[in-house]
Amino acid sequence: MKYSEIIQTKEYKQDWNCCTVVASSVIFNKPFGEIQKFYDQHGRKRKQGYSGWREAIIELCEKYNYTYKAYAVKYNYKNGYEVRQTKGNGSYIENNAEVLCKLKTKNSLNISNFNQYLPKGDYIMGFNGSICHVGAVKNGIVEDWTDGRRYVICSLFKIEKNENVKCLTKSLLKDFESFGF
């Protein structure tokens, strides 16, 4: 779903502080109400934020057949900022952690400049500082009210849909049947 569609729904209008629900609905392309019920079942109270969003994203990835990689933005005084892979809970991987990108600048990664540094894709981004917020980026497009602003990104999940092996296998078998196999 798109952010512009979600904010028109009855469920959204009766809730607030639901940024995690909105971001999840966008990334997993599921109705806001369905994702809202998932978060209700996992302890989120309506009209309140949800601090367990990282664990919930991991569970939603498993539920809807997605893969994820978690990253945090880390400052290195020699090299500037790096977007470095973390464990799903946000703790750093000590050795051989993947670096998604490096920012050779004093400016941090934010919602208005991320496209200059991150590969195009689907992300759920966590912001800290003047706001504590979670937003979605779908195919490189910000699907959130933070679009165009300079809120600093502190963590993110890169999320990708898994190929459905059963469907691919069935379509290949059908192709072979047409050749008499």
In a domain, 40, yes or no: yes
In a domain, 170, yes or no: no
Question: With 90 as the cut, is the pLDDT of residue 126 above it?
Answer: yes
In a domain, 175, yes or no: no
**For the residues 127-149, what does the mean pLDDT come to?**
91
Question: With 70 as the cut, is the pLDDT of residue 172 above it?
Answer: no
pLDDT band at 12 (very low <50, low <70, confident <90, very high): very high
Greater pLDDT, 111 or 129: 111
Q: How many domains does the chain have?
A: 1
In a domain, 177, yes or no: no
Determine the 3-state secondary structure of 51 from DSSP: coil
User: Interior CA angle at 136 toward 133 and 141, to 5°?
Assistant: 130
Question: With 70 as the cut, is the pLDDT of residue 65 above it?
Answer: yes
User: What whole-number distance in Å separates Cα of residue 101 and Cα of residue 122?
Assistant: 15
The tokens for 15 are 């809730």
Query: Which of the listed ranges 87-91, 153-157, 177-181 does the model predict with the highest average pLDDT?
Result: 153-157
What is the domain extent for residue 76? 3-165
In a domain, 93, yes or no: yes
Nearest C-alpha neighbor of 110 from the set 150, 59, 165: 150
The tokens for 59 are 């569970």
In a domain, 173, yes or no: no
Question: With 60 as the cut, is the pLDDT of residue 169 above it?
Answer: no
User: What whole-number distance in Å separates Cα of residue 177 and Cα of residue 44?
Assistant: 50
Q: Pick the range with the lowest mean pLDDT from 2-16, 29-43, 157-171.
A: 157-171
pLDDT averaged over every residue in the chain? 87
In a domain, 12, yes or no: yes
**For the residues 31-49, what does the mean pLDDT come to?**
94
Query: Which of the listed ranges 17-21, 47-51, 177-181 does the model predict with the highest average pLDDT?
Result: 17-21
pTM of the predicted model as reported, rounded to 2 decimal places = 0.83
In a domain, 47, yes or no: yes
